[in-house]
């Protein structure tokens, strides 16, 4: 059943990519960009740049290493490193593979910062979704009560959404780049968790 759902999700992503390539979502993208960039201020620009930095490899890689050390040394759950590192590495490679396929240029409406390369799907959005989803999944059962779990869930959700929104604000991604990044990452982490749980049961 889960394989069917995964195939349907992949088909949905391809459908989104086709709509983007045929400019069927241009009005959707433009209207959101104008709304988000209409909020521009010095304070929000500073926040958006900070979120962009948090979503970059210079911060994500150390964050993954810190979480890996915490899992291995403090919680003594070394097999979870397979899920964490494999999931993050796979997400990066998947993004690197998809961008040259679709070759979508970044928006040129109003750029606050400059970025190189193609924009679809968003690498920042994929990294944020994958990392915060896996972190939430791996830490969930170690939290003492529902309050802490709810706080972790809300924090992760806010970080994922904020990093994606910041990329639109900074003018380096279309909203559909962000949605595509979330979509691909959701499929990827679902597959990773499913395979990890099967592998963990087999080891036991």
Name the band, by pLDDT with cuts 50, 70 and 90, for residue 204: low
Inter-residue long-range contacts of 1-5, CB under 8 Å, 24+ positions, other chains counted:
2/190, 2/194
User: What is the SS3 assignment for 113?
Assistant: coil
| pLDDT 10s digits, 73-85 | 888 888 889 999 9
Q: What range does the domain containing 85 cover? A: 2-203
Number of domains in the chain: 1
Q: Quick one: which of 128, 116, 100 has its CA closest to 172?
A: 116
Question: Tokens 């979480």 map to which residue?
Answer: 67
Residue 86 has pLDDT above 80, yes or no: yes
pLDDT for the residue 177 = 96
Residue 5 has pLDDT above 70, yes or no: yes
Q: Rounded to whole angstroms, how far apart are CA atoms 120 and 101?
A: 9
Mean pLDDT on 120-144 = 93
Q: How many other C-beta atoms are found inside a 10 Å radius of the C-beta of residue 91? A: 26
Percentage of residues of the chain with pLDDT beyond 90: 66
| pLDDT 10s digits, 164-199 | 999 999 999 999 999 999 999 998 998 899 889 888
Half-sphere exposure of 199 (CA within 13 A, CB side): 11
């Amino acid at each position: 059943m889960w394989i069917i759902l995964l195939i349907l999700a992949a088909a949905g992503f391809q459908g989104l990519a086709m709509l983007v390539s045929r400019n069927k979502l241009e009005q959707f993208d433009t209207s959101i960009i104008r709304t988000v960039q209409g909020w521009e201020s010095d304070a929000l620009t500073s926040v958006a740049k900070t979120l962009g930095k948090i979503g970059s490899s210079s911060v994500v890689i150390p964050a993954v290493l810190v979480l890996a050390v915490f899992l291995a040394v403090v919680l003594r759950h070394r097999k979870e490193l397979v899920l964490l590192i494999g999931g993050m590495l796979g997400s990066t490679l998947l993004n690197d593979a998809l961008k040259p396929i679709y070759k979508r240029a970044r928006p040129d409406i109003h750029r606050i910062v400059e970025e190189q390369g193609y924009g679809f799907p968003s690498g920042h959005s994929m990294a944020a979704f994958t990392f915060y989803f896996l972190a939430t999944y791996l830490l969930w059962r170690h939290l003492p009560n529902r309050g802490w779990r709810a706080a972790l869930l809300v924090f992760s959700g806010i970080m994922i959404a904020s990093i994606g929104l910041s990329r639109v604000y900074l003018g380096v991604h279309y909203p559909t780049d962000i949605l595509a990044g979330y979509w691909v990452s959701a499929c990827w982490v679902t597959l990773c968790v499913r395979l990890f749980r099967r592998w963990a049961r087999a080891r036991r």
